[in-house]
Amino acid sequence: MSEQRGSGARPLLRRPEDGELIDVAGVEHFFRLTGEHTGGRFAFEEFTLAPDTIGARPHIHMEHDEYFYVLQGELTLHNGDGEITAGPGHLLAAVRGTPHGFRNAGPQLVRALCLYTPAGYEGYFREVHAAVASGVEATDELLAEFRARYHTTTL
């Protein structure tokens, strides 16, 4: 990322295979950019969600925004009032303080992008993945504890 004009910083090119893959409860989060790459400004991921899989139950972030963009399949999104189905090209802006969640209720794989601003929530996925990899069960209580560390409330 370029910091300032004339600062000597260079753009960062990421190849298709460059990123950090974090598998959490059936959701493959492939972080193309994390806070380490962007000076904490934002994180950017591509995620895949198998059919009949919950990505995240409804929750609220207090210190970051999330933007979901559907590439393939149909993503069922909780938008605070209920659920809506979003197909390729749909964009959901879940700014801080707004309830949201997502799942794949359909029969096909979902691929989508998610942008986090500012960065940091990728740490939540890292913590959950590490806990599960060490043999800890990902209970609702455990997930709520981890989310609280990132100023997120489960509904």
Instruction: Give yes or no for residue 129 having a pLDDT over 70.
Output: yes
pLDDT tens digits for range 69-119 = 999 999 999 988 899 999 999 999 999 999 999 999 999 999 999 999 999
Closest CA to 69 of 51, 49, 52, 86: 86
pLDDT tens digits for range 103-117 = 999 999 999 999 999
